[in-house]
Amino acid sequence: MRTRAQVRHLLRPDDDAYGTDEVDRHVTAWLAAHPDFTPKHDGPTRDQWDALIPG
């Protein structure tokens, strides 16, 4: 959350904030604790998007 706040408040660019060793350690630990985690897409499909947004 600290990293996200830095990015949101424009204190650090995304790549700098999310590319730290601290973030890597936390993400690695979280993934190790959740071995069954599979990322899922939570937005519209391309066809749904195209149907909503005029070309």
Q: What is the pTM of this model?
A: 0.54
Q: Quick one: pLDDT at residue 13?
A: 78
For 1-55, what is each residue's pLDDT tens digit? 766 676 666 677 777 777 889 889 988 999 999 999 998 888 888 899 899 888 6
Q: Quick one: pLDDT at residue 33?
A: 96
Q: Quick one: pLDDT at residue 34?
A: 96
Contact status, residue 3 vs residue 11, Cβ threshold 8 Å: no
Rounded to 5°, angle at Cα 42 from 40 and 48: 125
